[in-house]
Structure 1
Amino acid sequence: MHLTIVGCGDAFGSGGRLNTCFHVRTPESCFLIDCGASSLIGLQRLGLAPNEIDTVYVTHLHGDHFGGLPWLLIDANHRSGRTAPLTIIGPKGLEERFVTAAEALYPGATKRERAFDLKFVEIEEGKPLTTNGVTVTGYEVEHPSGAPPYALRFETNGKILAFSGDTTWSDNLPKASEGADLFICESYQFDQPNPVHLDFKTIDGNFEALGAKKILLTHMSQDMMDHAGSVDGKRYAAAEDGMVIDL
């Protein structure tokens, strides 16, 4: 897997970072994990062609994680001339929420005739789904967003990549992260508990339970960014927009 961090920021753009979006390339697939509102900007900035993306996986239905999908559609229809199919995989109600958002932003956008197939697939809790050689399994976590939120586990070519999505501590997190070569984990705050987000103190206290080889901290508030330099570099790395990691 070749991972490029398009955006690792929170909903508020703390530190000037873009919304959550991870670009992953494998021999069989090129996909996004989440597509926050600023994702198209980040893709263009990094020279990553939107038309090469075959699948977008969405953890939950907040704008900083799925709000960039309407711009992918607009780009495909009006600029890049997409012809390859695009599959969007995420929580129940994803397609309805996408249509609502896209039509609010660009009336008629979803009704326009397309030169490519657009398919929506809903995640089923704990049920593996394989697309283009990548198997994803979703585990429901705790983050109110009007639809089930998921931590996602990706397996392909003997490698495992997992992402917490947004959540407070959940006993489902180790199911997603166990044995992962890399676990991308939101660490919104440093040591202050939060009812809907993780803090580093909780993550570190559960490091063994999570069972990942290394944890990449993401979705950081300014408070967490101020402390990021003090974390154990053998266990953790702090995400940055534009960072590239090969697994």
Structure 2
Amino acid sequence: MKLTVLGCGDAFGSGGQLQTSFHVAPSGGSEPFLIDCGATVLNGFDRAGLDPDRVSKVFITHLHGDHFGGLVWMMLHAQHVTRRTAPLTIVGPSGLEARFRAATEALYAGALTYPRRFPMSFVDIEAGTPAVVGGITVTAYEVNHPSGAASFALRLEAGEGADRRIIAFSGDTEWVDVLCDAARGADLFITECYGFDVASRGHLSWHEIKRHLPRIQSKRIMLTHMGRSMLAHRSEVSEPNVVVATDGQVLEV
């Protein structure tokens, strides 16, 4: 399984990083999927040399623009530029479709009234109830980050047999113990790390994550969604099996 960081920045583009999105290509030739889809996602695809039309599923952690806003531009690009015909499935908390439609109408009034060349469907998931979407098993864990709807950490299982891999992502959140459940046994746990030594409301800091490292029983950890203070101190992260994300980074999972 190959993970490409399309964006690892915060909502404000601190350090020039693009907004949150991870492109995952499972082993065995299965269709790629996204974990979150920040508003700069098309820039991320271009920089990485990846094709957004090959993505069949997008898993969304919560309903803030730097995590789902790119769906608007991804849909418009597929409709008007590449003329996509393959189906696209969007998976996330209840209310995602309504928020997507509202965002699209606000930004491009009338865009949703035109016939679309490709099917686009939304699947609601609930915390604690695993769902299988296109061969991917997704389990949501409710976390603490106000977004006007449920905010989730996600655990995604893909592949068969020896190729089976587990990626977990915290989404945006303060520390909550369910992060340990989401990360347990994962091949990669991606965690937001907005601050360095001080946690902001609804976000984590490196000092807080470091304190909980013995409880996070994943094979590797990737830090993402870094604000200015964390970026200034990123070189101080030296723990084994902890990776600091950069835009365009590629990991074999």
Task: State the TM bucket, normalised to the shorter chain.
Answer: over 0.9
> Which one-letter code corresponds to 1:137 in the other structure?
T
CA positional deviation for 1:132: 2.4
Q: Deviations over 1:143-199 (max 9, x none)?
A: 000010000001122211110000000111111100111101011111113221001
Offset at residue 24 of structure 1 (A): 0.5
Aligned to 1:78: 80
Is 2:102 aligned against 1:100? yes
**What is the aligned partner in structure 1 of residue 11 from structure 2?**
11
CA distance in 2, matches of 1:39, 1:210: 29
Q: Which region of structure 1 is more displaced relative to structure 2, 201-210 or 224-233?
A: 224-233
Moved over 3 A (4+): none
Task: Give the Cα separation in 2 of the matches to 1:70 and 1:87.
Answer: 14
- Choose 161-170 or 190-199, whichever is displaced more: 190-199
The alpha carbon displacement at 1:28 in A equals 2.0
Which of 36, 39, 48 is equivalent to 1:37? 39
Q: Could you say which residue in structure 2 is the equivalent of 1:230?
A: 236
How far does the alpha carbon of each residue in 1:35-80 deviate from its partner, in whole angstroms, 9 at most, with x for none?
Answer: 0011011112222111101001100000100111110111111000
Q: CA deviation at 1:134?
A: 1.4
TM-score (normalizing by structure 2): 0.95
Deviation at residue 89 of structure 1 after TM alignment: 0.5
1:177 aligns with 2:179: no
> Where does residue 216 of structure 1 map in the other structure?
222
Contact 1:28 / 1:133 at 8 angstroms: preserved in 2?
Answer: no
What corresponds to 1:52 in structure 2? 54
2-side partners of 1:51 and 1:5: how far apart? 17
Q: Determine what percentage of the aligned residue pairs are the same residue.
A: 52
Higher mean C-alpha deviation, range 45-54 or range 92-101:
45-54
Q: Is 1:118 matched up with 2:120?
A: yes
* Counterpart residue identity of residue 97, structure 1: R
Other-structure match for 2:174: 168
Counterpart-to-counterpart distance in 2, 1:107 and 1:195 = 34
One-letter code aligned to 2:135: G
Which deviates the most, 174-183 or 229-238?
Answer: 229-238
Query: Which sections of structure 2, spanning at least 5 residues, go unmatched?
Result: none
Query: Are the equivalent residues in 2 in contact too, given 1:186–1:218 (CA < 8 A)?
Result: yes
Would the aligned equivalents of 1:151 and 1:162 in 2 still touch at CA under 8 Å? yes
Residues 62 and 147 in structure 2, CA contact (< 8 A), matched pair in contact too: yes
What is the CA deviation profile of residues 199-221 of structure 1, one whole-angstrom value per residue up to 9, with x for unaligned ones? 11111111121211111000011
Count of residue pairs brought into register by the alignment: 247
Q: Identify unmatched segments of 5+ residues in structure 1.
A: none
Deviates more, 1:102-111 or 1:30-39: 102-111
Q: What residue in structure 2 maps to residue 138 of structure 1?
A: 140
Q: Do 1:125 and 1:139's aligned partners in 2 also have CA atoms closer than 8 Å?
A: yes
Which AA in structure 1 matches 2:61? T
Amino acid at match of 1:102: T
Residues 185-200 of structure 1 aligned to structure 2 (within 5 Å): 185-200=191-206
TM-score (norm 1): 0.97
Aligned equivalent of 2:68: 66
